[in-house]
Structure 1
Amino acid sequence: MTETTDSGRTAVIVEDDAELRHLLVDVLEAAGFSTVSVGNGIDGIQAVLSYQPMITTLDVNMPGIDGIEAARRIRAHSDTYIVMITAMGEEADVVLGLTAGADEYITKPFRPREFRARIDAMLRRGRVAAPAPVRTQESAGPSFPSARPAAAPVAAPAPAAAPAAPQEVIVHEAGATGTGALELHNGEGQWLAHRNLRLDLDSRIVLIDDTEVDLTRTEFDLLAALLESRRRVRSKADLTLLLRGESYVTTYFVGDADKRAVEAHMTNLRRKIGDNPAQPRFIETVRGVGYRLTSEVTPPPA
């Protein structure tokens, strides 16, 4: 989801097609953005208001409110760059999208290089900053309601709240012992530790011994989730929802493509931390279920 980004270089992806959503995440993270991805317009509006991203991509045809209406509501509160992505390429459709507040309009199908080039060109052009949005109500953070009335007004929350942590976070004070024990150092940051691997939740720094490991945002979030869960198994579906920011919503569909994406991210994470799946030191695979931390005690050789 560490990322080589600053706090202002964030992108929100609003797309109901899981495979395309993952593609957009990969392209934007490769371009140096932190990403927040959701699958419908209401959640997209809430994510934009919570994270105040530099760029927002909107699918036009989505369940609930469509991308055009989502763009109108977003533009009323945010000056984020809006990129409309749709299969409808008629002139009237393009005009409608731009009138709703879009800065760029990309028709499907498109190639990742084209998408990246259009994003870069849009950012080079720049535009006159919109007046500061008028906030009518404050909120503690992002909200993804399960009931989604089509015309529900969206109130703007406090700017750039940090993403909520997973529901179950088990952390031991420094010096705790036991299988898979983690540590919370209250002096500087919140460090989670397993063997010689340490992770700071505040600065998003990962260290093995004293060497920093460069992870993407997604890889960092996966590792943090496993460290927080200790020996509790995290399924691929569970990790998919966590990465989407939907870990506390039970109605979202998780398909095979989502699970394969988690497997790919886990492969990259293991490679970067030097973990061999055949003889894991940090993360072990629970076949047919998911992943968990290894035991603190190394088993004797067979």
Structure 2
Amino acid sequence: MCAQVVLAEDDAKQAELVRRYLEREHHQVVVVGDGRAALEQVRRLQPDLLVLDVMLPGVDGLDVCRILRRESDLPVLMLTARTEEDDMLLGLDLGADDYMTKPFSPRELAARVRTLLRRGRQAPSSAEPDQMLRVGGLTVDLDRHELYADGTKVACTPGEFRLIATMAAKPHRVFTRAQLLEQLHGIDQYITTRTIDTHVLNLRKKIEPEPRRPVRLLTVYGVGYKLTDA
């Protein structure tokens, strides 16, 4: 799988190491050292993936992610030296699809990149790729990778789309956090089930008439979540 990747990393040694590993995977890698340049290159090149360090000079990685999510559903893998789980989940809350904490194995990063690229190019396995899923006022167009709520197109990240598409394929079924996590990330010791909670909170803001009183994407206490046709 050959893809174009923008790598935003201001540590020259770290950037060179990551670039070499990604190029061994036959990806084309464009390296930038600050957030403003990352925005410029993403807008110019329309790459397949952005690998984004949080601590960038000028415009930091969190702001880059926030800005891009208003413009694109480009998959974003965030790199962070912050070890607090709440700090790492902030990146997901802003629309990142995955994160890795430093120091990390470049081989594992390359594997994460493969997973994100494969996920971005494939429809969820729980539904036919040519199927239009409708659950109440929600429509999930798997061919076009688009979500509509009451006829209005909803911007969502690849991770959010995969989660809602998985649940829309089996409405009213209760999914555990672990089951949903496997759909998003597979079996991965570095990702926690709180990732699912973050995606659910973000989706509720986008598809619920009153996000604090959800009627579509419901919590089943002690179990997980389900999507209804309300």
Q: TM-score, normalised by structure 1?
A: 0.41
Aligned to 1:224: 165
Q: Deviations over 1:79-121 (max 9, x none)?
A: 312479xxxxxxxxxxxxxxxxxxxxx7xx937965439989x
Aligned length: 163
In the alignment, structure 1 segments of 5+ residues that lack a partner are: 1-48, 61-65, 85-105, 121-149, 172-183
Aligned to 1:142: none
Conserved? CA contact 1:56–1:80, under 8 Å = no
User: In the alignment, is residue 262 of structure 1 matched against residue 196 of structure 2?
Assistant: yes
Give the aligned residue type for 1:193: R
Residues 68 and 54 (structure 1), Cα distance of their counterparts in 2 relative to 1, 3 Å cut: closer
Give the aligned residue type for 1:223: I
Conserved? CA contact 1:275–1:282, under 8 Å = no
Conserved? CA contact 2:132–2:140, under 8 Å = yes
Aligned to 1:204: 145
Aligned to 1:116: 61
Give the aligned residue type for 1:268: N
Residues 226 and 260 (structure 1), Cα distance of their counterparts in 2 relative to 1, 3 Å cut: same
Q: Offset of 1:260 from its aligned partner?
A: 2.6
Aligned to 1:253: 189
Give the CA RMSD over aligned residues. 4.5
Q: Deviations over 1:204-241 (max 9, x none)?
A: 22223322223333322221121123233222233334
Conserved? CA contact 1:240–1:254, under 8 Å = no
2:19 aligned residue (59, 71, 76): 71
Conserved? CA contact 1:232–1:292, under 8 Å = yes
Conserved? CA contact 1:283–1:291, under 8 Å = yes
For the pair shown, the structure with the greater C-alpha radius of gyration is: 1
Residues 117 and 280 (structure 1), Cα distance of their counterparts in 2 relative to 1, 3 Å cut: closer
- Alignment identity in percent? 28
Residues 233 and 240 (structure 1), Cα distance of their counterparts in 2 relative to 1, 3 Å cut: same
Conserved? CA contact 2:177–2:193, under 8 Å = yes
Q: Offset of 1:261 from its aligned partner?
A: 3.1
User: In the alignment, is residue 281 of structure 1 matched against residue 215 of structure 2?
Assistant: yes
Q: Offset of 1:266 from its aligned partner?
A: 1.0
Q: Offset of 1:163 from its aligned partner?
A: 3.4
Q: TM-score, normalised by structure 2?
A: 0.51
1:292 aligned residue (209, 218, 226): 226
**In 1, Cα distance between the equivalents of 2:181 and 2:57?**
22
**In 1, Cα distance between the equivalents of 2:136 and 2:15?**
47
Write 1 or 2 for the structure with the bigger share of helix: 2
Aligned to 2:176: 235
Q: Offset of 1:50 from its aligned partner?
A: 4.7
